[in-house]
Structures are given as structure tokens and as C-alpha cells.
Amino acid sequence: MIQHLRQLPLALCCAIAVMQAAPSNPRAVPNRAPLQKNKFNPLPLGAIEPRGWLRQQLEAQAHGLSGHLDEFWKDVGDNSGWLGGTGESWERGPYYLDGLLPLAYQLGDSALIAKAKRWVDWTLDHQRADGQIGPASNDDWWPRMVMLKVLTQYAEATADARVVPLMTRYFQYELGSLPKRPLRDWGRYRWHDNLYTVLWLYNRTGDRKLLELARMLHEQGYDWQAQFARFRYTAKTSKAVLSERRGGMPSDEAMQTHGVNNAMALKASPLWYLLTGRAEDRAALDRQLEQLDKYHGLPNGMFSGDEHLAGTDPSQGIELCAVVEEMFSLEQDFAVFGDALLADRLEKVTFNALPATLSNDMWSHQYDQQPNQIACTRARRQWSTNGDDSNMFGLQPNFGCCTANLHQGWPKFVSSLWMATDDEGLVVTAYAPNRLRTIAGGAGVEIEETTDYPFRDEVRFTLHLAKPAKFPLTLRIPSWTAGTTVKVNHQSKQLPAAGCVLPDGQSPATQHCAVDRAFYRIDRTWRNNDEVTIHFEAKPRVTHWFHNAATFERGPLVFALPLDAEWKEVKNYAQKSSDWELTPTKKWNYAVQLPPANAECGVSVAETPEGAVPFDQAHPRLTMQVSGRELDGWTMVQNSAGAVPVSPVSANGTTTPLKLVPYGAAKLRITSFPFVAEPASCASNSLRSQR
Ligand SMILES: [Zn+2]
């Protein structure tokens, strides 16, 4: 009887929750013929709600710049051209909305929804008779590409019937206008962002004219595939090339080496593949990533771009806009191809490069972050072209694009945590705490995903259904895991190391393993309160980068030596928006000892209690201890850590323990270390992983 009483309110609450599922239509919209099918279909904005540490992160964002920027930064203030005013009328309003709008709906924050809706309403209410949208003061295609991305998210969250007709009329106008007024400069290099919303609309209306427009955008847009087929930007971009301007605009070389353009372009071939189905269009993405990794890859998951491709030295920077744009590209790429390595990469960028470049309270951000970042001060550094304040934390260091564009990072990651499969099932793209409400197997389903991943190694899914439903639930197995255990209602299944396609119930030993198809599929009839847990075995690992330098990683997290930054406020703008200089209070020039080969020692990992801020240097949720020795010859050059000496190096000082924290928590840090030839001793400092 007592049990009954306990269960009743739960069942009632969940049935109601399923009925109240947001958004109004929580189903994914599959691609319409003749487009290729996506491997996985994105779910509409609102289907996934952040929970746990991820909600803390989004709430910090709402209480920080994202929730207040319009109150004091005039570029997104009341006089914006995108609100009918005479102020900024180009990309900043749309950029801001592209993050503010999903943030508002995911938090269900009515004040933020009202802020965002005002902008959307202005665009919806002011379409010209010929179909054009946006401020009359310019006719640039580029900022409109961004506002269209905002409108698609708004339509998904609200089903507002005005969006589809407005977009239809706009694309008719664009199709008629492009022959006379073709894509140019930014729009020409970012045509795929336009293609993205054209395909979104085609899947909803089936209007064949949209496919004609898609082909025209491809024809007029820059050929990124050709750039990477014969990649000639294999070193830090030279200032001479970058200083040229043509007709007031950056030169073609400047556009082609532009970090943000390259991050956005990571979705060009996958989206174009949907029209062609050609193997070359699929292979082009791998080639693009491989070349960027090889010549410009950084240990935080990104490539360098400060403002242009800058080689693999970890003292080079990467712009915040490029971080959030690469995330959005990878989210689309994973939907199209379903390659698990793309989602591994997405997690690496999201859990490292994104939090590292934002302050804990989300009131300040950098323009450029460096993996080896020993001071964030106004000073001349070795950037390809950026200014002296580029790595300071502030309102608009270097330039205001990131101030407007940073907001989309976390919310779009939330939107992509789950996707739908063609057989009415669901797949986990990336792991983080959330609640999903959607339709699967023909029934309303709510899945509570409880976890402190990436700081912990276990994820629990609890399913709530008003009635039993049969559908496949597919879990992504990250490539780094040394072993995986899945439990369905407490019954264990041991999986081998990553990379194996394992239909439920089949023996791992007989399966073909391939790292690009690492999924575990559970196809069964699900009942209310069914529970699935997945446990990964994340072992510390060492990866090698510029000059053979060593970086410590574990699971999707990169670890760095924090330099205990002292924050000095140099200017306050309004509210809590200030510019800050960060200087180190600790030595940074150490060479590390690597763990001995084939031994699980030399590095120890400790779980620490949760603080209020997920990526906080004062309360890191996970720490790693390694050992190192001071390396006097490694000094500061041009206000950054000098080039990492080629490893192995000799350093004869005393061996000291070094406590590393997640990269995203260490605002000043060393991430890529030289190492000494002699490996760490297993006996010296309690080196086994602590749980
Ligand atoms: Zn930017």
C-alpha cells in the first residue's frame, strides 16, 4: 500500500509531463526526397532541457552577458537596425539572437523569451513586398543568413505560422536576385549557412524551387573542397598576404585563411552531400579536418586562427567565434553522417575550448585563447593579425563579433545532445545532464539523463512513458574509452573497447570493429521507469603535439597546469561587464615526466566534490597529478610562452608534483609540456588512479 502511494504521484507527474511536452511538435523532421537521408535527425528546439551542471552553465549565461548585453551594448540595443533603428544593421543583432533565443526557450525564461521575441517580431512584421527582410540600410546576404537560423529555431519552439511563409517569400526573392546580385565577400565564403536554412524549409514545404536556390548558392559560393584538395595554407599565415585589401574588403587569401570562415565551412561539404549523395562530398569533410589538424591543430580540440590560420604552436590563439561555429558545424555534420568521431570532437571542443574562453560568471570573454596562456594582458603578441588586447577577458576585446556571437555555443550544444533515428528511435550525440521530451516508437517519451559527465564516467537514463513503447535507443561509445559497461534495468552487458557495432544481445567477440561506427543499440519495448546506465573506463592518456610536446587528457577532458591567475579590473562598462588583465602567480616553465610505457602509474586522478561552477579553478571537479621539473631555458617570448622546446629535453632540477585541472577551468595555464626522457617512477607518489 505504501509503495502504491509512493508510485502514484510519480506516475501522475510523468504522464502530465509527457502531455505537456515542449515544443508543440517534439518530433524531428526527416529530410525530404530527393535529398539524401540524414543518418540522424536533429530534434526541435525545446525538446531537450538542460539539467544538472549544464543548467548551471546556461543559468550563468542568462545572468551574465547573454541576459543583459542589450541593456548597455548599443550594437544590440534599441537602436539596432534589426529593431527598425538607425544603429548597427549588419551581423551583430542576428548573431546575438542566434544564441539568446535558444537559451531563452531552453531555460523557459519568460523575460528572456520576451527579449528575443521582440527582434523576431520585428523581422516577421517588416518583410518588404518583394520578399527582402532585415534593415533597409544594407542588402548584404550574410547577416540575413544568420537571422534565418534564428527564425528556424523560433519556428521549432513555437510553431508560429508566420515563419514558413516569410522564409518562402524571402528565398523566392533571393532566387530571383542572386543572378544579378551574386554572393560576395563574407556571404560568398559562408554560403553553406544560407544552404542550411534553405534545406530546413525544403523539408517542411517540398517546394522544388528551393533546390534550385540550393544549387545556385553552391555555384556562387566559395569552393572549400578545392581549397582542401590542394591545401596550400600549411604554415602560419604571413602578414604580407593578410595586409592586402581589395576594394575595401579583405583579400581572397585573408578570407580563405580566416579562422571563423574555416570553422563555419566545416558544414559546407556535408550539407552539399545531401543534394548529391557523392562519396567525394562525404570524404571532403575528413580531408578538411585532417588538414586543419595536421597544419593548425591545437590540443584544445580546435585549430589555430588569430585571426587567421596560425600553425600548431600552442601559444597561437583561436577566436571564440570559431569555437562556437565549429561546434555548430560538427553538430550538423554528425546529423548528416552519424560518424561518432565527429561527436567525440564536438565534446572535446565543448568541454574544453568553450568554457576556457569565458569567465565563470559569463560576464567576460576572450577574443583569442591560447592553449599555453601565461598572461592575458594588453601587450604585443605573435598573432597573425589580431590586436594587443585579444586574449584579455572583457566586453569586446579586439573586436565585437565574439561579444555578439558567443551566446549560441552552450544552447545549440543542448539542442544536439539527442537526435532521432529513421526507425522511430533515439540516439545520444553527446553526454551531459538533460531531460528529453519527444515521440519515439509512436509514443510520448520523457528521458531523464542524470550524470556529471565529463567529470564522472557514468550516465543514467530513466525513461518515463505513459504506456509501453518499442523503439531503439542507441548510445554512442566514445573512441577513448578502454571499456564500457551498459546496464538495462540493472542487468549488465560488458562491451569491448570503442569502435564496435554491437546489436543488442550479440557477442562482442564476433563483431567487426570500426572507430567510425561506435554505437550500442538497445531495441526493446520500454516501460515506465526503465533504467539504462552506461559506464566508461576513462584512463589518463598522453597525446603529442607541436615539437612533440605532451598533453594530458582523460575522457573528453584536456588537463592543464593552472597558473593561479590574479584578475585586475582595468575598465568597467556597466553592471558586471568589465575588462580584466590576468597575470600568473605561479611558475609555468616545467618539463613533465611521462608515465612509463604500458604501466598504469605515473599519473593519478582524483574526483573532487562539486562546486557551484562546473569549470572552476578554485573547485575543479577532477584533478590529475603528474610530476615535472623546472626548465629554465623555456622563457617568455613576445609576452607568451616561448615555443615549447623540442622533446625530450633535459632538466636536472628537483622533481615536483604538478596538479592539473580541466583545461576549461584554468584561465592561465600550460597545456602542452616538454617532457624529460626519464619516465615517472611508479613508486614515488601514490600514482594509481583514485576513485
Ligand atoms: Zn569573433
The DSSP line for 460-479 is EEEEEESS-EEEEEEEE--T
Q: If you average pLDDT over residues 106-112, what whole number do you get? A: 98
pLDDT at 24: 62
CA neighbor of 689 nearest in space, from 618, 616, 607, 610: 607
Is it the case that residue 8 has pLDDT exceeding 50? no
Is it the case that residue 640 has pLDDT exceeding 90? yes
> Distance, CA 325 to ligand 1 centroid (Å)?
10
**12-16, 541-545, 575-579, 648-652: range with lowest mean pLDDT:** 12-16
> Distance, CA 176 to ligand 1 centroid (Å)?
32
**144-148, 149-153, 391-395, 513-517: range with lowest mean pLDDT:** 513-517
> Distance, CA 665 to ligand 1 centroid (Å)?
21
pTM: 0.94
pLDDT tens-place string over residues 60-70? 999 999 999 99
> Distance, CA 153 to ligand 1 centroid (Å)?
22
Pairing, β 469-476 against β 426-428: parallel
**196-200, 493-497, 547-551: range with lowest mean pLDDT:** 493-497
> Distance, CA 319 to ligand 1 centroid (Å)?
6
pLDDT at 373: 98
pLDDT at 239: 81
pLDDT tens-place string over residues 373-428? 999 999 999 999 999 999 999 999 999 999 999 999 999 999 999 999 999 999 99
pLDDT tens-place string over residues 262-299? 999 999 999 999 999 999 999 999 999 999 999 999 99
- How many CB atoms are located within 10 Å of the residue 515 CB? 15
CA dist 269 and 17 (Å) reads 39
Report yes or no: 680 and 687 within 8 Å, Cβ to Cβ.
yes
Confidence band of 483 (pLDDT split at 50, 70, 90): confident
pLDDT at 500: 45
pLDDT at 681: 82
- Indicate the average pLDDT of the chain: 91
Rg of the chain on CA atoms, in Å: 25
Percent of the chain with pLDDT over 70: 92
Provide the grid cell at 297.
Answer: 591543430
Cα 417 to chain center, whole Å?
Answer: 11
Query: If residue 341 lies in a helix (H) or strand (E), which one and from where to where?
Result: helix 340-348
DSSP line for 77-122: STT-GGGTSSS--SSHHHHHHHHHHHHHHHHT-HHHHHHHHHHHHH
pLDDT at 494: 64
CA dist 105 and 328 (Å) reads 18
> Distance, CA 443 to ligand 1 centroid (Å)?
42
pLDDT at 22: 56
pLDDT at 683: 64
Higher confidence at residue 212 or residue 602? Answer: 212
Confidence band of 243 (pLDDT split at 50, 70, 90): confident
> Distance, CA 272 to ligand 1 centroid (Å)?
25
| CA distances to 271, 409, 518, 653 from 282, in Å | 9, 25, 18, 51
| CA distances to 100, 153, 328, 409 from 120, in Å | 11, 11, 21, 20
> Distance, CA 242 to ligand 1 centroid (Å)?
17
> Distance, CA 216 to ligand 1 centroid (Å)?
28
Print the SS3 string covering 37-73. CCCCEECCCCCEEECHHHHHHHHHHHHCHHHHHHHCC
Provide the grid cell at 606.
Answer: 582524483
Cα 118 to chain center, whole Å?
Answer: 27
Report yes or no: 530 and 463 within 8 Å, Cβ to Cβ.
yes
> Distance, CA 155 to ligand 1 centroid (Å)?
27
> Distance, CA 493 to ligand 1 centroid (Å)?
45
Phi then psi for residue 566, to 5 deg, are: -100, 125
> Distance, CA 384 to ligand 1 centroid (Å)?
15
> Distance, CA 405 to ligand 1 centroid (Å)?
7
Report yes or no: 408 and 99 within 8 Å, Cβ to Cβ.
yes
Q: If you average pLDDT over residues 516-529, what whole number do you get? A: 85
> Distance, CA 626 to ligand 1 centroid (Å)?
35
CA neighbor of 542 nearest in space, from 439, 660, 657, 458: 660
pLDDT tens-place string over residues 163-218? 999 999 999 999 999 999 999 999 999 999 999 999 999 999 999 999 999 999 99
**In this structure, what is the dihedral angle of CA atoms 277, 280, 286, 291, given to the nearest 10 degrees?**
-150
> Distance, CA 308 to ligand 1 centroid (Å)?
12
> Distance, CA 143 to ligand 1 centroid (Å)?
14
> Distance, CA 601 to ligand 1 centroid (Å)?
41
Q: If you average pLDDT over residues 248-254, what whole number do you get? A: 86
**70-74, 308-312, 503-507, 631-635: range with lowest mean pLDDT:** 503-507
> Distance, CA 401 to ligand 1 centroid (Å)?
4
Contacts of 53 (CB under 8 A, 6+ apart): 432, 433, 452, 455, 610, 614
CA neighbor of 150 nearest in space, from 108, 97, 109: 97
Report which residue type is found at 41: N
